[in-house]
Chains A and B, each alone.
Chain A
């Protein structure tokens, strides 16, 4: 990535203009045209560096709940369990980690009942030894951005 691409990424991460012609406004700040700005963002998007420009929704504010789940899974079943989680829309993030609880994922759901049914299903999967629920009691930071 060159300097211009980095500056552009930092700009759209931090301060995306909400106006009719946002890319023109961004271009102005960087001394490039609207077309150039769009072209570079397309390129960064195609190469997978820029995942998207979008609204980040606070699900809790519209009646959904979110939960971090830590699972203890037999090491040789992890890939299999992870594959199953892949197809569940309510699961948005899923990582294997070192430690006692070795598979961690986040869940978005609209009722406790829906969550319980899902976790019950996971509990029955081969290799799943323990499932712990870690609701957030307080949010100190949701940053989502790192300087490029």
Chain B
């Protein structure tokens, strides 16, 4: 079994953005009380365990020109949802795609985030996506305003779950 308390302690350090300096992992290593190569091995171990999804640069979408986006919610027959989800995931401009629970007054069960550089492109892409899968109904929910986009931090007083 993995030691959850240790994982949370490690991740509360490893979740921080690295500094732009010659040896960026040195800082983590000091905080963890291990050396740099052990730190790097630890990150790799978390990646192989699926605890760290990826270690990479996070670019602000709107700052590289993707200012227009929409969440598109489809109602898809449950037996066809996995196929549709796979088709949607193949579009490079779709960053997130999930099956979610639905409600009688909100029947949509397949969600995709679509990004584009202008409104016309967004319309085009929404139409392209609509043409690619089989669905019963759809709700297009364009983003109006981003109020918050933050990094969740493991609280300092975390308790083992």
Contact = CB atoms under 8 A, between A and B. Distances in A.
Answer yes or no: are A and B bound together in one complex: yes
Interface of A: 1, 9, 12-16, 18-24, 34, 38, 41-42, 45, 47-59, 61-64, 68, 70, 82-83, 85-86, 89-102, 104-105, 108, 110-111, 132-148
B93 A62 contact: no
Contacts of A68: 98, 100, 111
Interface of B: 4, 7-8, 11, 14-18, 20-25, 36-37, 40, 43-44, 46, 49-61, 63-64, 66, 70-71, 81-82, 85-86, 88-89, 92-101, 103, 106, 109, 111, 115, 139-153, 155, 159, 161
Contacts of B63: 47-49
A61 B50 CA distance: 7
Contacts of B141: 97-99, 101, 104
A68 B54 CA distance: 22
A138 B85 contact: yes
Contacts, number: 236
A143 B106 contact: no
Given A57-B15, A138-B85, A34 B49 contact: no
A87 B63 CA distance: 24
A62 B152 CA distance: 14
A100 B85 CA distance: 24
Contact of B96 (A83, A105, A143): A143
Contacts of A101: 106, 141
A135 B97 contact: no
A36 B89 CA distance: 36
Contacts of A50: 57-60
A144 B54 CA distance: 10
